[in-house]
Amino acid sequence: MDRLLTGIAALPPVVVLTLVFLLPALESSTLLGLFIPGETAVLVGGVVAHLGGLPLWAVIVAAVAGACLGDQVGYLVGRRYGPGVLARAPAVARRHLDLERARRLVASRGAVAVVTGRWVAVLRVLVPLVAGASGMPRPTFGWANVTGGLLWATAVSLLGYLGAASYRYLERELGIGTYALLAVIAVVAVLTFWRHRRRTDAGNRPRRATRGR
């Protein structure tokens, strides 16, 4: 793990900042977030900041700019092309869409959905498109987009920064080795995947029953 951190720290700062900006910017505007969550790059940026390769404020600024710009583009695409834009997405992307959930969230919460939806990967991709397609006013979406982007980017950047610090502390002070830490991460990943599959299966049961009728 220490080698991994050293390798990350060795990345050119301009490359890290470009990724920190680019991945969040492409999440909603191109549906890339369905496959590569934008927080991946932002977390890496936070780690690099902790290791001294970048100032933390630069990571936060790049992440905020990318998140807000990408969601604004997604909103404009939804506003211009309407609900049909998601129907024209590639089949591999449509399999990951939870469009009804995003519609319900926007219909019931309005601007609050833009702020809160950013914390769930799939909703972060869909909510700007649905908000635009549903006719949410531009000023309303604009302030919600900036508020959500600022909170999300700051929190994720700090998570990467503090996560790197915590790993170094645990390894140095508590003697937790790399393999033990990786085992914990693997268990968390398996549990997360299992919960996601359970939710997916539960959501599909009513549809299958309806088709059977």
pLDDT single digits (tens) 39-72: 888 888 888 888 888 899 999 999 999 999 999 9
Distance of CA 46 to the CA centre of its chain: 15
CA 147 – CA 175 distance, rounded (Å): 40
Going from N- to C-terminal start, the domains of the chain cover 2-173, 177-213
Using the predicted structure, report yes or no on whether residue 114 has a pLDDT greater than 80.
yes
CA 41 – CA 91 distance, rounded (Å): 26
CA 80 – CA 163 distance, rounded (Å): 40
pLDDT of residue 186: 58
Q: For 89-113, what is the mean pLDDT?
A: 73
Q: pTM of the predicted model, to two decimals? A: 0.72
Q: Is 24 in contact with 66 (CB distance < 8 Å)?
A: yes
